[in-house]
Chain A
Amino acid sequence: MSLTNKVTAEDVLRISGVDASRCMQCGKCSGACPNYDEMDLHPHQFAALLRKGEVERLMESNALYQCLSCFACSQRCPRNVEPAKIIEAVRLTVIRQKGRNYMTADRLPEKLDEDLPQQALVSAMRKYSK
């Protein structure tokens, strides 16, 4: 589905509150990421592509939905760049668009099992839809 609203790098920087220019591309974030193999773009690329203004590439990335929000990247970044915040900001710019919710309530019943805590549902809905 196409995007209804154009998103710029400035939008992402404003929402994230991150200064991506501090990134020195050391790759420690991507070395720390526990879900690296599931992502098409990786934490250090979020900082790099954002610097180049290539927000659309980021918005089309599946990494937005594979990020665990575990904050390992942010914690271990030696430059205080906080890639997790960039990923979250880009995800917000997508799911705030009309018809771009990644997960909708009608898909939840199939995912339920007896032990699943409410916390999982609430978290997933917060992450994947608006």
Chain B
Amino acid sequence: MQKIGVFVCWCGSNIAATVDVKAVAQALKNEAGVVFSTDYQYMCSENGQAMIRQAIKEHQLTGIVVCSCSPRMHEATFRKTAVSAGLNPYMVEIANIREQCSWIHKDIAEGTEKAIVLARAAVAKLHKNAPLTAGTSPVTKRALVIGGGIAGIQTALDVADAGFEVDIVEKSPTIGGRMAQLDKTFPTLDCSACILTPKMVEAAQHEKINIISYAELESLSGFVGNFTATIRKKARFIDEDKCSGCGVCTEKCPSRKGLDEFNMKLNKRGAVYIPFAQAIPNVAVIDAEQCLHFRTGKCGLCQKNCSAGAIDFEQKDQLIERKYGAIVVATGFKPIDASAFNEYAYNDSPDVVTSLEFERIMNAAGPTKGQLIRPSDLKHPHEIVVIQCVGSRCTEDKEKGKPYCSKICCMYTAKHAMLVREKYPDVKVHVFYIDARTPGKNFDEFYRRAVEQYDVDYIKGMVGKVAVEGDKLHVQGSDLLNGEQVHINADMVVLATAIEPDPTARSLGTMLTASMDTNDFFTEAHPKLRPVESPPAGIFLSGVAQGPKDIPETVAQAGAAAAKVIGLLCKNELTCNACVAQTNEAICNGCSQCEKVCPYGAITYEDKEIRSPEFRGIRRIATVNEAICQGCGACTVTCPSGAMDLKGFTNSQIMSEVDAICR
């Protein structure tokens, strides 16, 4: 018979306001095996823990039940307390009388009754607990970063600087991401490329960083510290080792129909191209859909002109398999498709552009060489209207808009307005806004500068219609402060479109078993306290993949994710979960059902000699690799003979709990 201690926590008024904690402690004294029962204001406090330690020693307790908050909060705390008093950590049970009781009840009598029932269930389970010892598993000291934008680059640099190998897998032909497309950055207006490209170069030259561009994660297996990834490196039809990035092929290519993705498809590019001047790797890529050689079997001009002999039309996709200890998701974002917004004439006029398109127009390396001219007639515009919140804060239609605030648009719009006014004082800029949201260091000052110093016309209201009338864009909107409808004959309209997670995020999330929200942003393990971790151990989050954020926030989060990765990789081994599956060899008949459902590949079969009253001889038996098993329990519910059981959560333990609740 065990000697059990029960400790009921008030959690200040969190529990005590809805549960009569003294009555709970009193009621539990009558449970079989309970030799000590008490309550305390904050059981997790040093005094509370001291009380537990003292009781364990004084009453020679064999196990304890703490009635408190969710085990997700303090199970680890109380296990440590128990260990320091000489108990096995798995002889601790938590009855969650806060989240599952006091927080959801209003009536004290009801709350108290339920708390007693939950505590009894924990006692009943504890009677069947046995001390458990956790195994260990080794850590592969290499990290995989998925996505080579500023988030991925920063995380990779920080992890590599700590001395660990990092692979960056980037799906496009170059790293750099969205930040590489930006002209200037707020709130300092420094040139985006000038601050990004040194980081790109640093990553490329870092001896610990390996950039795998034009590649995507194909599959993943394993668990924290021991992931195995298969990466598909797409054929770019260029030998990366031979190509010097001279660009001769891109000049000779006769195809000019491909749309330049880097310039938001505002201009054309050849079928063989280097995305932009500072691309890394500075290596060409062939777009097979546009390439005349692939379309007709002829041409081959690039091959004839390549002095390095780098063109390889026979190149095939390559699969790379590699082991990693940690994985970082840094897949970033894209602007939403504005074609759903034809009330703003996005489909009707090339002079209605998204903000990222406008960014390229303003950029010296962009399609207009940085000259502000209209795409339709290449004329200089004199009046520009910017519409904010295009597709943000939209709950009407999931296909059309996003329910969240995209966070960066107020600031980049102020930036655009200022850049235009600075360079072209003759151009009038009107900005329709719902709210100017500028929290951030020096952000509001920046926005006010646009208003006060640059005389940007901010109109509180929204545009209802943009009508193409001749070569003008008739903008009809509301001015809510002046109580009137305004009509502006503009030359260009800029749509500050919402941002959304990269389209690859959803399938990647499924592959990683990482949780995602309904907008396909990756969910953090805890929104406040574990903001850069995904719930599955060993998966970390960096940048906009987790939620809209600007560059400084992205870089900060990238560093935080790196710190978590480093913390993991500097361990030589990880303590495994002690609550793993085990086979009752006397019952197992080797049917293979458990092996099929195990998501971790932890179950194998061995021929074993069985000596039981019913059977003597050799039989095929399931064996669990305890270093790999994550204790999910899938095998235990699948096993038709009941041979699989989860240590710490055995069928008999669960049944005891249920019996106690139904008593």
- Are A and B bound to each other? yes
* Chain A residues at the B interface, C-beta cutoff of 8 Å: 22, 24-33, 36-37, 42, 44, 72, 76-80
B172 at interface, CB cutoff 8 A: no
Report how far A33 CA is from B480 CA in the complex, Å. 13
Cβ contact within 8 Å between A26 and B464: no
Residue of A nearest to B480 (CB): A27
Q: Which residues from chain B contact A30 at a C-beta distance below 8 Å?
A: 461, 464, 478, 480, 485
Size category of the binding interface on chain B: 20 to 34
B394 at interface, CB cutoff 8 A: yes
Partner of A27, one of B393, B397, B401, B478: B478
Cβ contact within 8 Å between B396 and A32: no
Report how far A53 CA is from B462 CA in the complex, Å. 25
Partner of B395, one of A22, A29, A31, A32: A22
Interface string of B462-477 (1 = CB under 8 A from A): 1111000000000011
Nearest CB in chain A: distance from B405 CB, A:
11
Interface string of B431-471 (1 = CB under 8 A from A): 01010000000000000000000000000111111000000
B343 at interface, CB cutoff 8 A: yes
Known A-B contacts A72-B464, A76-B464; the reply to A28 vs B478 at CB < 8 A is yes
Known A-B contacts A31-B485, A33-B464; the reply to A25 vs B394 at CB < 8 A is no
Partner of A80, one of B396, B460, B462, B480: B396
Report how far A44 CA is from B479 CA in the complex, Å. 11
Can you list 15 A-B contacts with CB-CB less than 8 angstroms, sorted by A residue number?
A24-B434, A26-B389, A26-B393, A26-B462, A28-B462, A28-B478, A31-B461, A31-B462, A31-B465, A77-B396, A78-B393, A78-B394, A78-B395, A79-B393, A79-B396
Residue of A nearest to B485 (CB): A36
- For chain B, residues 219 to 246, give those with C-beta under 8 angstroms from any C-beta of chain A: none
Partner of A32, one of B434, B464, B480: B464
Cβ contact within 8 Å between A27 and B461: yes
Partner of A42, one of B434, B463, B478: B478
Q: Which residues from chain B contact A27 at a C-beta distance below 8 Å?
A: 434, 460-462, 477-478, 480
Residue of B nearest to A22 (CB): B395
Q: Which residues from chain A contact B396 at a C-beta distance below 8 Å?
A: 77-80
Report how far A37 CA is from B461 CA in the complex, Å. 16
Nearest CB in chain A: distance from B433 CB, A:
9
Report how far A72 CA is from B480 CA in the complex, Å. 18
Report how far A28 CA is from B466 CA in the complex, Å. 12
Nearest CB in chain A: distance from B490 CB, A:
14
Q: Which residues from chain B contact A76 at a C-beta distance below 8 Å?
A: 343, 464
Report how far A28 CA is from B461 CA in the complex, Å. 7
Q: Which residues from chain A contact B460 at a C-beta distance below 8 Å?
A: 27
Residue of B nearest to A29 (CB): B464
Residue of A nearest to B400 (CB): A78
Q: Which residues from chain B contact A36 at a C-beta distance below 8 Å?
A: 478, 485
Q: Kindly list the 7 A-B residue pairs having the minimum CB-CB distance in the complex, ordered from nearest.
A: A32-B464, A31-B464, A28-B462, A27-B478, A78-B394, A30-B478, A31-B477
Partner of A31, one of B394, B397, B463: B463
Partner of A79, one of B394, B476, B477: B394
Most central of B343, B460, B485 by chain A CB within 10 Å: B485
Known A-B contacts A27-B480, A42-B478, A76-B343; the reply to A32 vs B465 at CB < 8 A is yes
Q: Which residues from chain B contact A37 at a C-beta distance below 8 Å?
A: 485
Nearest CB in chain B: distance from A106 CB, A:
35
Known A-B contacts A31-B463, A32-B465, A76-B464; the reply to A26 vs B476 at CB < 8 A is no
Residue of B nearest to A75 (CB): B343
Given A27-B478, A31-B485, A78-B401, 5 extra CB contacts under 8 A? A30-B461, A31-B476, A42-B478, A78-B394, A80-B397
Report how far A44 CA is from B462 CA in the complex, Å. 11
Report how far A24 CA is from B464 CA in the complex, Å. 15
Known A-B contacts A29-B464, A30-B461; the reply to A44 vs B394 at CB < 8 A is no
Most central of A25, A30, A77, A80 by chain B CB within 10 Å: A30
Q: Which residues from chain A contact B478 at a C-beta distance below 8 Å?
A: 27-31, 36, 42, 44
Report how far A78 CA is from B387 CA in the complex, Å. 14
Interface string of B381-396 (1 = CB under 8 A from A): 0000000010001111
Interface string of B297-311 (1 = CB under 8 A from A): 000000000000000
Most central of A22, A27, A33, A80 by chain B CB within 10 Å: A27
Q: Which residues from chain B contact A79 at a C-beta distance below 8 Å?
A: 393-396
Q: Which residues from chain A contact B464 at a C-beta distance below 8 Å?
A: 28-33, 72, 76
Q: Which residues from chain B contact A26 at a C-beta distance below 8 Å?
A: 389, 393, 434, 461-462
Residue of A nearest to B477 (CB): A31
Report how far A80 CA is from B461 CA in the complex, Å. 17
Q: Which residues from chain A contact B476 at a C-beta distance below 8 Å?
A: 31-32
Nearest CB in chain B: distance from A116 CB, A:
28
Residue of A nearest to B465 (CB): A32
Q: Which residues from chain A contact B343 at a C-beta distance below 8 Å?
A: 32, 76
Q: Which residues from chain A contact B480 at a C-beta distance below 8 Å?
A: 25, 27, 30, 44
Report how far A72 CA is from B476 CA in the complex, Å. 13
Cβ contact within 8 Å between B395 and A80: yes
Q: Which residues from chain B contact A31 at a C-beta distance below 8 Å?
A: 432, 461-465, 476-478, 485
- For chain B, residues 349 to 403, give those with C-beta under 8 angstroms from any C-beta of chain A: 389, 393-397, 401
Report how far A22 CA is from B394 CA in the complex, Å. 11
Report how far A96 CA is from B462 CA in the complex, Å. 34
Q: Which residues from chain B contact A72 at a C-beta distance below 8 Å?
A: 464-465
Residue of A nearest to B460 (CB): A27
Most central of A37, A76, A78 by chain B CB within 10 Å: A78
Q: Which residues from chain A contact B401 at a C-beta distance below 8 Å?
A: 78
Report how far A76 CA is from B394 CA in the complex, Å. 10
- For chain B, residues 475 to 508, give those with C-beta under 8 angstroms from any C-beta of chain A: 476-478, 480, 485
Report how far A28 CA is from B460 CA in the complex, Å. 11
Residue of A nearest to B391 (CB): A78
Q: Which residues from chain A contact B461 at a C-beta distance below 8 Å?
A: 26-27, 30-31
Report how far A27 CA is from B483 CA in the complex, Å. 10
Nearest CB in chain B: distance from A14 CB, A:
22
